Every structure is written in structure tokens, then in C-alpha cells.
Amino acid sequence: MNYDSVSQTLSWIFGGDYPDHTLTIYQSAARAMIVYVLGLIFIRIGRNRLLGNITIMDGLLAIILGSVLSRAVNGSAAMTTTLSATGMIFVLHWCFTKWGARSHKIGRWMKGRPILLIEGGVINRPNLQRCHFSELDLIEQVRLASNLGEIAEVEQAYLERNGQVSVVFKRSKVK
């Protein structure tokens, strides 16, 4: 089998690298399959947390990947350049997260820092406003995190870097 026949077969299956016509349903499906498999490979190589408790950087990565990879599926961009751009995005993400893990200062800059919302059973209103949380939002988060409805029972509560609220109980309430 020569290069031209392989190229023609791949063009028939995928509609070409950058199609000059509307893709068929089957070509879009074939592109989606390739993009999905390569996306999974990139995620596994990148040791990404896209499906767990994500940080701002992971959320940004998910948005960018959704945008970039969709172009490869629908044929609005060349498949090879889209997939190479995706690979570069993962390399950059991997480098930045590794850099952030090695340097506390860089990690704080890239991922943020926890924000104290409750201390000694008292709500820190300036921080609550800074986080765009209402008091009702905070009470709901305390209930979800601790099964407690009383702010007075909480020693400290933080809005963590991943967007979740963590709660530390007062010692007299811990059994």
C-alpha cells in the first residue's frame, strides 16, 4: 500500500486534515472517536484532576480543551494542528502545576490561597463579601460540609482554593 492510497483512505474516513467540504456524519463520528481517545491519553499523561476537586488552573484547562478539541471534531480547524495545540496545552499545564507544587509562592500565585470565612463562630463579613458569598450561601456550605446548622459551632471555615468550603469544629463539639 502506497502513501497516496493511505492518504486517500484517511481522507475518506476523516474528511481530510482540514476539510474543504462539510463533513459527513460518519467523518464527524470518526474525528470525535480519535479526539476522545487522544484526549484521554493526554489527560492520563498530564495526571490531571479534571474530574475531581479542581483548581482554577484545572477549570481553565477544561474550558480551553473543550474549545480547542471541538474544532477538530467539527472540522473548523485542521485536525493535526488542533491535536498538536492540545498537546502543547497539556505540556504547559503539566509544567505549571509541577512548578506550583515545588514552590509554595508560585503555587499560591497560580492557584490562590484559602480565605477565612468563619473564626471562633463569627462570620468574617469582609472576606465573605470579597468571595461574593451571602450569609445564606455560607450557612448552606457549613451544613453540607459538617451536618451542622449553627455557625457558632464552627471554629474556622475556609473557602479553599478549589472552591469548596472546609469546616473546623470547636473542640467541645468534636466527639
DSSP string, 9-57: HHHHHH--SS-SSPPPHHHHHHHHHHHHHHHHHHHHHHT--TTSS--HH
Q: Note down the domain range covering 18.
A: 3-109
What pLDDT score does 18 carry?
Answer: 65
Chain centre distance of CA 121: 33
- What is the band of 150 on the pLDDT scale with cuts at 50, 70, 90? confident
What pLDDT score does 127 carry?
Answer: 93
Q: Name the grid cell of 170.
A: 470547636
Give the C-alpha separation, 9 to 23, whole Å.
Answer: 15
Q: Which of 109, 124, 142 is the last residue of a domain?
A: 109
Same domain assignment for residues 101 and 26: yes
Same domain assignment for residues 8 and 22: yes
Q: Which of 57, 83, 109 is the last residue of a domain?
A: 109
**Is the model more confident about 14 or about 131?**
131
Residue closest to 49 by CA, chosen among 109, 106, 111, 105:
111
What pLDDT score does 123 carry?
Answer: 94
Evaluate the CA torsion angle 150, 153, 156, 160 in order and state its sign.
negative
Same domain assignment for residues 18 and 91: yes
What pLDDT score does 33 carry?
Answer: 82
Query: Residue 133's domain is classified under what CATH number?
Result: 3.30.240.20
What pLDDT, in 10s, does the model give residues 6-61?
777 767 776 766 666 777 788 878 888 888 887 777 766 655 445 455 666 777 78
Same domain assignment for residues 79 and 22: yes
Q: Name the grid cell of 133.
A: 458569598
Give the C-alpha separation, 98 to 93, whole Å.
Answer: 8
What pLDDT, in 10s, does the model give residues 98-124?
888 898 888 888 777 899 999 999 999
- 10 Å Cβ neighbour count for 165? 22
Same domain assignment for residues 89 and 142: no
What pLDDT, in 10s, does the model give residues 88-99?
888 888 888 888
What pLDDT score does 163 carry?
Answer: 79
Q: Are 151 and 165 in contact (CB under 8 A)?
A: no
Give the C-alpha separation, 30 to 13, whole Å.
Answer: 7
Same domain assignment for residues 69 and 154: no
**Is the model more confident about 42 or about 154?**
154
pLDDT of 158 higher than 90: yes
For the whole prediction, is pTM greater than 0.85?
A: no
Q: Which of 90, 109, 128 is the last residue of a domain?
A: 109
Q: Name the grid cell of 174.
A: 468534636
